[in-house]
Structure 1
Amino acid sequence: MNNMKQKKIFSISALVVIAFIILIGGAFYLTLWAEATATEESEISAVLKREERTVFDPVLPSEHVSLPEDFRFHPNYQHEWWNYFAKLQDQDGHVYNVQWSYFRVAIDERDTRGWQNPQLFISHIVISRGSHIWREQRVARGGIGQAGMSNRPFRLWIDNWYWRALGTTPFPGQLEISTDTFGLELNTTTNGPFVVNGDKGFQVKHALLSVSSFSFSAPFLNVKGTITLNGQSISVTGSAWTQKEWGSGLIGEDQQGWDWLVFNLDDGRALTVSRYRQNGQVPHLFGTLSTRSGTVFNLTEKDFSITPMQVTSLANGRRMPLQWIVNVPKHGINLTTRISKSDMWQPFLIPYWEGPILASGSNEAWGFMQLTGY
């Protein structure tokens, strides 16, 4: 009799959990597809703002990024985000751009296993070649083995998508993505130093000190592997850029969104610049310039300017500044960007414009751009 009662209680609990997941998933997908009327503030802020009733570790200036230790999972913080950008070529010179993101957000601060685990995992993959684009998204709950991270050896996964390595860091490592229509297997190795952003990894992202994060990047990466498109396996080689960021509450109360551009310059330097926009205030600017020898320059609004030059209307009605001038006078950098494809709006659970860019001027450069809040 007790077993029957336990089974009945378990069944009711399971149904409640499933109903909750369906409700949350439905809300996400309503946001996802209601592009014509939804505002970016509700799409981005609803996920990245810190809830007052939750308690996560604060991002403090007294704490610093330590490598390789901080390749690990940071469950005490609300958010954790990996970005991987790659520019690849096949033997015929055709260019393939790869964008992969792996995002973790905690619904609350509980440390529980199973279906009550509060961690939500989201991963996106986008491959573009000329006017063609392939993309897919995976969403999973933590605590049930469907998604997660291990450190020894290093492994990120969601369903049958993996980043795995033999050691405790991602490099050398392999990104393996398989979908019903396309896939890839990319082996990535370092070709230069890791770069710690901000003040030893502590990066202010808002005029208020309370909105900050920890971050570091690997802008000097070599890639070799295969991309499978339309049933054809294509050997590719090229370069890549990876960034990891974590914190608690990455969006301020009045924040509209951000503009983030990363570049690999033809002289071997790597540049990243960000412009965080908020209502009633001038944008907050920050960036990092790094070299293969290990020299790192942290950039503030006094060191550079980033100016939108052209606004483009997308097919979904959004208007985006897709051309920019980036000027870093002290370091002799003046770049005018251009996009490869304008319609790179990514209609994911966390939606934004993201795609490859090229730049010319003081240097020739390739890179990627991410725009939110428009």
Structure 2
Amino acid sequence: MRIKLGALLLMLLLSGCDDSASVEKGFAGLGGEAATFTPVVPGRVFSFPADHGPHDGFRIEWWYVTANLKDDQGREFGVQWTLFRSALKAAPEVAGWANQTIWLGHAAVTSATVHHAAERYARGGVEQAGVSVQPFNGWIDDWRFSGQGGDGLADLQLSARDKLFSYQLRLTSTRPPVLQGDKGFSQKSEQGQASYYYSQPFFQASGTLEIDGMTYQVSGPAWLDREWSSQPLTANQSGWDWFSLHLDSGEQVMLYRMRQKNGEPYLTGTWIDAQGQTQLLHAADIRLTPLDTATVAGRSMPVRWSINIPTKHLDITINALNPNAWMDLRIPYWEGPVRLSGSHGGQGYLEMTGY
């Protein structure tokens, strides 16, 4: 899933403007009632490229890219680029300062020894941030995720820059997007909270990455998550652990574990075969176990995991490339690249919140 941290931060920022965003109502207010916003219900028919753009009426939305990259010497890196949209009111966008939308950007780079992260904020309606389609263009300040033609997400440029890092990547894919959950209806709790959720897990990325003054030519697989909702959590859910995995076999896996203040975590995911066909994974299909922890920013974080999906003959161990991949932002969280070993090789990304 992608209940991403920008959504969390945005809801905290908005808590002074809207009682429904109170942080007591679930993790970061994401479990707060959203009666005036559009509900997420099963049976939506997705339409591309239109659904690559913003969705009026929903409270929370994001465009989230992660990439597992290597240079010609085999050195490993991770890149994150995220744009979040949060609506103060369930109303169509308007131009100018009367606009009721807040935008947030996160960008990060990770190596085995270094992790840098940055954030940007913007108000809607004044062209400082936004998303358009045909051609696709997402931006906040000079951070961009944009295409040149009308082919949706087939060929895109991704860029971000901060004091200690920058990257310029080209992302290409000939595959259509993949619907997560039940035909794009992604349930987050037993009580029925949900989002609309699709991914493009078949991107191939290449370009340049600069960290601390050193420039690298890099390439590797990338993953885009698109998700929107109005109330994606319950008041009882305290955080989540999210995995996106590129298997060397050509298959992909998405898993998430929604931790609860009381009771067992809500666990689900999607198996994506090499042809892009999906299968919804339920809690009974998945054995997800933290193995080892590291102390990161004064917190105990599970940076080594066991993942077993018996029906798919998957039995792997996940290790963080850099255990200190801490996003030291207004709302801190852990996100970074991971390595796979065991029945399958590969790489992926892990996000952990609420620790």
TM-score range, shorter chain: 0.7 to 0.9
Cα shift at 1:51: 4.5
Does residue 367 in structure 1 map to residue 355 in structure 2?
Answer: no
Residues 373 and 64 of structure 1: is their aligned pair in 2 closer, same or farther, counting only changes over 3 Å? farther
TM-score by length of 2: 0.88
> What amino acid does structure 1 have at the position aligned with 2:145?
W
Identify the residue that residue 134 of structure 2 maps to in structure 1. 152
Contact in 2 for aligned 1:193/1:292 (Cα 8 Å): no
Contact in 2 for aligned 1:119/1:141 (Cα 8 Å): yes
Does residue 77 in structure 1 map to residue 77 in structure 2?
Answer: no
Identify the residue that residue 329 of structure 2 maps to in structure 1. 348
Greater radius of gyration (CA):
1
> What amino acid does structure 1 have at the position aligned with 2:284?
K
What are the ranges of 5 or more consecutive residues in structure 2 without an aligned counterpart? Answer: 1-8, 14-22
Question: Which whole-Å deviations, capped at 9, do the CAs of 1:216-260 have from their partners, x for residues lacking one?
Answer: 111111111112334454322221111111111122111111111
Identify the residue that residue 79 of structure 2 maps to in structure 1. 98
Instruction: Provide the aligned C-alpha RMSD in A.
Output: 2.2
Identify the residue that residue 197 of structure 1 maps to in structure 2. 180
Contact in 1 for aligned 2:70/2:218 (Cα 8 Å): yes
Partner SS, residue 302 of structure 1: helix
Matches within 5 A, 1:213-362: 213-314=195-296, 316-362=297-343
Contact in 1 for aligned 2:111/2:321 (Cα 8 Å): no
TM-score by length of 1: 0.84
Contact in 2 for aligned 1:220/1:292 (Cα 8 Å): no
Contact in 2 for aligned 1:73/1:151 (Cα 8 Å): no
Contact in 2 for aligned 1:163/1:173 (Cα 8 Å): yes
Residues 90 and 329 of structure 1: is their aligned pair in 2 closer, same or farther, counting only changes over 3 Å? same
Q: How many residues align?
A: 335
Partner SS, residue 198 of structure 1: coil
Which of 144, 148, 164 lines up with 1:162 in the alignment? 144
1:163, 1:268 → 2: CA distance?
25
Cα shift at 1:42: 6.3
Residues 371 and 181 of structure 1: is their aligned pair in 2 closer, same or farther, counting only changes over 3 Å? closer
> What amino acid does structure 2 have at the position aligned with 1:165?
G
Residues 262 and 43 of structure 1: is their aligned pair in 2 closer, same or farther, counting only changes over 3 Å? farther
Which of 165, 178, 183 lines up with 2:166 in the alignment? 183
**Whose helix proportion is higher, 1 or 2?**
1
Instruction: Point out the more displaced range, 112-121 or 230-239.
Output: 230-239
Contact in 1 for aligned 2:62/2:85 (Cα 8 Å): yes
Cα shift at 1:108: 2.3
Contact in 1 for aligned 2:56/2:91 (Cα 8 Å): no
Identify the residue that residue 208 of structure 1 maps to in structure 2. 191
Partner SS, residue 70 of structure 1: helix
> What amino acid does structure 2 have at the position aligned with 1:75?
D
Calculate percent identity across the aligned residue pairs. Answer: 34
2:288, 2:328 → 1: CA distance?
26
Residues 191 and 338 of structure 1: is their aligned pair in 2 closer, same or farther, counting only changes over 3 Å? farther
Contact in 1 for aligned 2:26/2:32 (Cα 8 Å): no
Contact in 2 for aligned 1:176/1:183 (Cα 8 Å): yes
Contact in 1 for aligned 2:158/2:170 (Cα 8 Å): yes
1:76, 1:170 → 2: CA distance?
24
Residues 271 and 212 of structure 1: is their aligned pair in 2 closer, same or farther, counting only changes over 3 Å? same
